[in-house]
Structure 1
Amino acid sequence: MSRRAGGVIGDWAEAQRRMQQTQQIQQGQAERRLREQRAADRQYREAEARRRTERIEAEVAALQGLLAAGCRAPAFRMAGLVRSEQLEPFAPGTLAHPVPMPQLHQFQQQSSGWTLGSNRRAQAEREAHARYTQAWQAAHAAEAQRQQQLAAYRQQYDRWAADQLAGIRAHNSGLTALAGALRAGDADVVVQYFSAALYASTAWPEQLPRQVAAAYDPGARQLVLDWELPGYAVVPEAKSVRYVQSTGQDKETARPVGRRRALYRDLLAQCVLLVVHELYAADEFGVLDSVVVNGFVDAHDPVTGREAQLVLATVSAARSAFEGLRLEQVSAVDCLVEGLRGQLSARPDQLTAVRPGRRPDEVGGGVVSHGGHAGDGQDEPDLFEMDPIAFENLVAELFRAMGMEALTTQRSGDGGVDIEANDPSPITGGRIVVQVKRYRNTVSPTAVRDLYGTVQDKGANKGVLVTTASFGPGSYTFANGKPLELVPGDKLVELLHQYGLRGRLGGGPAGIPAQRAPEPDPSPDHNVLGMSWSGAVALDVCALVCTGRRVLSEDHFVFFNNPGTPDGSVRTRAHTAPDKAALEVTFEALPREADRLVLVAAIDPEADPHADLAGFTDARIRLLDAAGAEAGQLEVSDGRAGETALVLGSFRRRANGDWDFVIGGKGYRGGLEDLLREYGVDVA
């Protein structure tokens, strides 16, 4: 027994030793991995600190080299804005190829190897001829359809080409007129042109502001500007960054205050000199003999505590004195103060102001401002009357104010792109192509379709169409589910004011944008149609005022982007439980020519682009009177899998003037777009 027990104990002891050895090996490996991980983390943090230091040094180097780099940038030229009249050629694709017509021998070959009697052979020939005749008729019908589609597509292309050429020629004609006005010294045009030159310049880093107020003195041939300068924070407070292993934190080494102030003063001097350089470089028409630039910052006045424009640098530079300078080689501060006898704040970091030179409001004419703050007492420019160059630059400035990079295109053959923007947002951002249309009438869906083609052609992430006018239902329907955004005139004015810019639509007191006509008050005899359904599917509920199966006009298609008919007889409204959507209808006020009100529902592609109407069940319409009392309920058809739009039903006018409800049920796999085509809404 003792020998057997001793053997068991020995085996157990040996297993213990082996386990301890394994644990020691594993512990050693874990400690080694930990050391390696810590070393890798340290190396990463040290490398990241070096990268931060390099970024700081690159920022400072860019600020120090602003003037030299700006002088190498191409000068603004009117010719760069001329648009080519060369359009994309007509390319019908497969429609260009006729449908192959069948040949009789192709059908006779099928019986070439048969050994049949004369009757059987005759029967086979008749069958072959019958098959040939059927195939020929099908091919002939397909060819006729192809020719019809080709002709329709050609007409569509010709209309598009005519619109494009008209727009290009109007733009180029406007440039010709603009050049003539510049040569004549028209003060407003001179200011708009040189403001556009400053905004379109590629010499300025995007983090620097571009706010300008300007006026032109034709007698003295002098342009007077107030130009916004960057704040002190643009110069990095930190000089370098290093990783401290003992604390596990990054430590910044502060830039000496004296050195930071010197960098800031030098930057302000560079900015003022660069503005003067850009203006003279853009003066291809010879309208400037001198330029006055007052560089200011928007800040709290240290004396009064109120917000103010504090002038930190100013210069009056005659062309004759300025043209002899080699700006790439100068000390900006010395050049500004000694060479041009300008003024520069000794302590701009403490907002110590200097006495400004001549101000734009002292010139005597109108002052044109861009990039300022709404409500500061200056007139709102009428976007309808704004110069086309200035309008494009104003929209570009709006994109910059929204935190994006944006530049107007300055070349012919721009491919229908007026502004190229970049949204730096890591997930939702990317390249954006922008078209601007200074229209008074509703923008055609063709323009939206063309923008979508441009987005695809340019490989952009998104397309934005900005207009002073409005869009019809066809445009919004085409844009649904696509990387497109439509900005109508009223939304444009709202955005301009939101981001501190100016603009109004048409007449009205200065500083007050034109407003839409107020909607009529609800009729006391109106009804509310409350829609409810089971399932979590997100739907848009819309209404079409029709004669037969044709909508009266695009304005009579009521949906989220067109909340009411012109006469107010049908309007969207906020819903209350248990309803999920609601419309307000005054049947007596519907147009006399209308004989039906069609209610439709469609999947909201933005909420769920892959959904269908399979989850649209137990749907009903509650009919409420003006006081909210329920007068009855109307059941409608359930949705079906694969369909994304559905006619719920229609109210139809009878001979006695009453309106009866007829249940619908027709579904569409192509969504609201397909449904609207059937009712005559242009979604091309």
Structure 2
Amino acid sequence: MSRRSTGLIGTWAEIQRQQRRQEEARQRAQVQHQREQERRQRAAERAAARSQREQQAAYRQQREADARRRTEELDARVEVLKNLLKAGCDAPAFTPAALARPERVEPFAPGRLGVPVPMPDPNAYQPQPQGGWGFGANRQAQEQARARYEHDWRAAQAAEAQRQHRLALYHQQYQQWADEQLAAIRRHNAGIEGLTAALQRGEPESVVEYFTAALYSSQGWPQGLPRQVSASFDSAARQLVLNWELPGYAVVPEVSLVRYMPGADRDKEVQRSAVERRTLYRDVLAQCVLLALHDVFAADRFGVLDSVVLNGFVDDTDPATGHGAQVFLATVMAPRADFARLNLTQVSAPDCLVDGLRGQLSDRPERRTQVRPGRLPGEAGGSVVSHGDGEEPDLYEMDPLEFEELVADLFRAMGMQAVTTERSGDGGVDVDALDPDPIRGGKIVVQAKRYRSTVPPSAVRDLYGTVQDVGANKGVLITTSAFGPGSHAFANGKPLTLIAGTELVDLLSRHGLNGRLGGTPERQEAAAHLDADQNGGLDSGLDAELNDTSVLGLTWTGDVGLDVCALVCQGNRVLSEDQFVFFNNPRTADGTVRMMPAVSPDKAAVWVRFEQLPPQADRLVLVAAVDPEVDPDADLSGFSDARIRLSDPSGTAIDELDVSDGRPGETALVLGSFRRRANGDWSFVTGGKGYPGGLVDLVEEYGIEVA
């Protein structure tokens, strides 16, 4: 029978057993901890890989969707070209009645001036009873309340009298404008009646004026096709002779479809075959000739024409002289009886033009192979009338009064009432406009400035003062030049609209008016294409350098609406106004910093090519400001858990940078800045400085003039 050892040896043995058990327990715990760490690391790696795959998948889906959208747009353009003649024949024919204007003007809409000033309520001025018999403190309180009431009543009466005075002046101005509008409408309609009578008599000038107007105003042509026409009328032969501009070879898209190549992270454009493009272009030219003939004969409600000669040309440059020249690609003499027998919706346009009407169509129009016109307008006798020949007025050279009248015409074409002001005592207002819309309408004051240099912020500030002085609903500043970030920052959140020169030309064109910003229309179009290439999304230059592009994606919690901006600086001063990238200037001039659509989970994104920033730039400052149009009463107290996710364009994460939370009372915040180190590397420094005055205060500190 065994027994437990006692004494010193037994004690020592028990200690050894305890130590072994403790060591084994420690080793087991260490192994368990190591396994748990490995498990967590594997889980984190799987989550990171899953997040990266999801981001890459979202980026790829977006690029593939963009490629499909571009392909669909190309297909839609080609479909429009193929059905040009059929769609044009379905459009309503031009008639003399289309030239008449209804004798009505927009009703008087005083806006806020039509609302009487509320008078103070005497009951709101009764003092609280203090007890007693109306002596002492009670009587004094009653007298003070009566004095306050009388003071407020007199102030309200004065404000109401001023409102009625301004309302009467505004109504008088409206009545004068309405009378002028009605008189102009009646003169116009009387002229239409005279034109119709002269047209029925076959007077050459009236015939030419009417049918060129029919061509120029036809609703059957898609946007973007030229409308240049020259015409004369041979009254003896009852023949109209036209030169009609045809679209250039570029009207047929060179690209047939777009595919996204994920391996190279770029779009691949598949070129349309030369045979397909040439065949379609020739078909389009024939359709344009037939549609122009259709518009002319359909507009002839009085049987004035027996035949029409139409010569189709494109504008080109004579290589010998360098001057513009007309290259004729089609010509036809169409008798009315022969044309009336055609079913234009079913014909093959080239066969119809060449075989059915015995006309001529260039065999190689893409090479400008010419045909010989049968008869030119100058050979038909009488004067030649031209429309849409590119002689738009140069807005830079226009007389100031004519420029203001053109701006007033634009507002009238947009459905508003507008009159130019007198040159003296106009208070800085060039055009008074009245928008009849019951919700967004009201009085609008307009300033028109023919500038060549950037409009200073002081002009925007002065317009805002005028809006407040005259009680207008909105102020509009129109210029032939452009606005800097300072002007846009001041106008943000205020009832101001800024229209730069390029926007003005586009508005004029869309509402049937003419105007250009210097140079010839051809050079303008080339400049517009160049500008589009330079300012588009991922142009070829940027696409080739995607590996050098960093994506700064910003995310935060909270529902506050924010504008995220970037400033390219030297020290604490922005290099120039165009180096301030924000909602109205989405890219720097060199394209090194761009605002781009954010990919979830980011709420905003800035793409930067750090290595291509100007040599003098030593920091890129990121800021966030409350959007006053989305959240006019918000501050940055709802801006928290903000991070900048640094990645490449494919979505591969590089780093994540924490930035400061917002604070109550502040509406703009410096998130942080990327700073160039001596060795050329860039490091991030967290910001945190807030501004109660919003983006205006912030950018002024960095040297941008706002007001």
TM-score for the superposition, normalised by structure 1 = 0.53
Shift of 1:268: 0.4
Shift of 1:274: 0.6
Q: Secondary structure at the match of 2:341?
A: coil
Determine whether 1:20 maps to 2:38.
yes
Distance 1:55 1:155, change over 3 A: closer
Question: Which residues of 2 match residues 126-165 of structure 1 at below 5 A?
Answer: 151-165=168-182
Measure the CA separation in 2 of the matches of 1:177 and 1:200.
20
Partner of 1:366: 383
Distance 1:276 1:177, change over 3 A: same
Q: Secondary structure at the match of 2:435?
A: helix
Distance 1:134 1:227, change over 3 A: closer
Distance 1:182 1:23, change over 3 A: same
Distance 1:498 1:455, change over 3 A: farther
Question: Which residues of 2 match residues 441-452 of structure 1 at below 5 A?
Answer: 450-452=432-434
C-alpha contact 1:235 1:260 (8 A) present in aligned 2: yes
Q: Secondary structure at the match of 1:172?
A: helix
C-alpha contact 1:292 1:315 (8 A) present in aligned 2: yes
Partner of 1:483: 476
Determine whether 1:86 maps to 2:79.
no
Shift of 1:292: 1.2
Determine whether 1:232 maps to 2:249.
yes
Return the match for 1:63 from 77, 81, 103: 81
Question: Which residues of 2 match residues 608-647 of structure 1 at below 5 A?
Answer: none
Measure the CA separation in 1 of the matches of 2:159 and 2:39.
84
Shift of 1:170: 2.5
C-alpha contact 1:448 1:478 (8 A) present in aligned 2: no
Shift of 1:66: 0.4
Shift of 1:139: 8.5
Partner of 1:30: 48
C-alpha contact 1:190 1:216 (8 A) present in aligned 2: yes
Measure the CA separation in 2 of the matches of 1:151 and 1:157.
10
Shift of 1:58: 1.1
Return the match for 2:516 from 495, 520, 524: 495
Shift of 1:28: 2.3
Q: Secondary structure at the match of 2:433?
A: helix
Deviations 1:151-176 (A, max 9, x none): 54543343233222222222223323
Measure the CA separation in 2 of the matches of 1:36 and 1:453.
49
Distance 1:262 1:127, change over 3 A: closer
Measure the CA separation in 2 of the matches of 1:441 and 1:96.
25
Shift of 1:222: 1.8
Gaps of 5+ in 1: 376-382, 385-390, 397-414, 421-432, 468-475, 502-640, 642-684
Partner of 2:92: 74
Partner of 1:183: 200
Q: Secondary structure at the match of 1:498?
A: coil
Distance 1:243 1:189, change over 3 A: same
C-alpha contact 1:67 1:327 (8 A) present in aligned 2: yes
Shift of 1:214: 1.8
Measure the CA separation in 2 of the matches of 1:133 and 1:37.
68
Return the match for 2:276 from 239, 259, 272: 259
C-alpha contact 1:183 1:285 (8 A) present in aligned 2: yes
Shift of 1:261: 1.4
Shift of 1:326: 1.6
Q: Secondary structure at the match of 1:325?
A: coil
Deviations 1:583-627 (A, max 9, x none): xxxxxxxxxxxxxxxxxxxxxxxxxxxxxxxxxxxxxxxxxxxxx
Distance 1:450 1:128, change over 3 A: closer
Measure the CA separation in 2 of the matches of 1:99 and 1:436.
27
Determine whether 1:338 maps to 2:355.
yes
C-alpha contact 1:372 1:500 (8 A) present in aligned 2: no
C-alpha contact 2:255 2:269 (8 A) present in aligned 1: yes
Partner of 1:606: none
C-alpha contact 2:109 2:436 (8 A) present in aligned 1: no
Distance 1:279 1:138, change over 3 A: same
Shift of 1:354: 1.1
Distance 1:457 1:86, change over 3 A: farther
Q: Which one-letter code corresponds to 1:280 in the other structure?
A: F
C-alpha contact 2:216 2:227 (8 A) present in aligned 1: yes
Q: Which one-letter code corresponds to 1:495 in the other structure?
A: R
Q: Secondary structure at the match of 2:309?
A: strand
Measure the CA separation in 1 of the matches of 2:314 and 2:127.
89
Shift of 1:146: 6.6
Of 12-21 and 337-346, deviating more is: 12-21
Measure the CA separation in 1 of the matches of 2:479 and 2:49.
60
Q: Secondary structure at the match of 1:253?
A: strand
Q: Secondary structure at the match of 1:451?
A: strand
Distance 1:347 1:463, change over 3 A: farther
Q: How many residues align?
A: 450
Measure the CA separation in 1 of the matches of 2:322 and 2:148.
94
Partner of 2:67: 49
Shift of 1:10: 4.6
Q: Which one-letter code corresponds to 1:209 in the other structure?
A: P
Distance 1:306 1:191, change over 3 A: same
Shift of 1:358: 0.7
Measure the CA separation in 1 of the matches of 2:119 and 2:266.
79
C-alpha contact 2:88 2:291 (8 A) present in aligned 1: yes
C-alpha contact 1:67 1:270 (8 A) present in aligned 2: yes
Gaps of 5+ in 2: 1-15, 393-397, 450-460, 468-474, 481-504, 506-512, 523-692, 694-707
Deviations 1:455-496 (A, max 9, x none): 897879x999999xxxxxxxx987977225389xxx999838
Partner of 1:220: 237
Determine whether 1:198 maps to 2:215.
yes
Shift of 1:49: 2.7
Question: Which residues of 2 match residues 422-461 of structure 1 at below 5 A?
Answer: 450-453=432-435
Determine whether 1:281 maps to 2:281.
no
Measure the CA separation in 1 of the matches of 2:230 and 2:175.
44
Measure the CA separation in 2 of the matches of 1:288 and 1:7.
111
Measure the CA separation in 1 of the matches of 2:165 and 2:28.
98
Q: Which one-letter code corresponds to 2:78 in the other structure?
A: V
TM-score for the superposition, normalised by structure 2 = 0.51
Shift of 1:133: 9.8
Deviations 1:527-553 (A, max 9, x none): xxxxxxxxxxxxxxxxxxxxxxxxxxx
Shift of 1:39: 3.7
Q: Secondary structure at the match of 1:317?
A: strand
C-alpha contact 1:436 1:465 (8 A) present in aligned 2: no
Of 50-59 and 309-318, deviating more is: 50-59
Measure the CA separation in 2 of the matches of 1:99 and 1:251.
65
Q: Secondary structure at the match of 1:87?
A: coil
Measure the CA separation in 1 of the matches of 2:153 and 2:54.
78
Q: Secondary structure at the match of 2:345?
A: coil
Of 56-65 and 89-98, deviating more is: 89-98
Question: What is the percent sequence identity of the aligned residues?
Answer: 49
Distance 1:253 1:220, change over 3 A: same
Shift of 1:436: 9.7
Distance 1:450 1:174, change over 3 A: farther
Shift of 1:266: 0.7
Shift of 1:305: 8.5
Deviations 1:126-149 (A, max 9, x none): 999999999998888787767655
Measure the CA separation in 1 of the matches of 2:167 and 2:144.
34
C-alpha contact 2:329 2:370 (8 A) present in aligned 1: yes
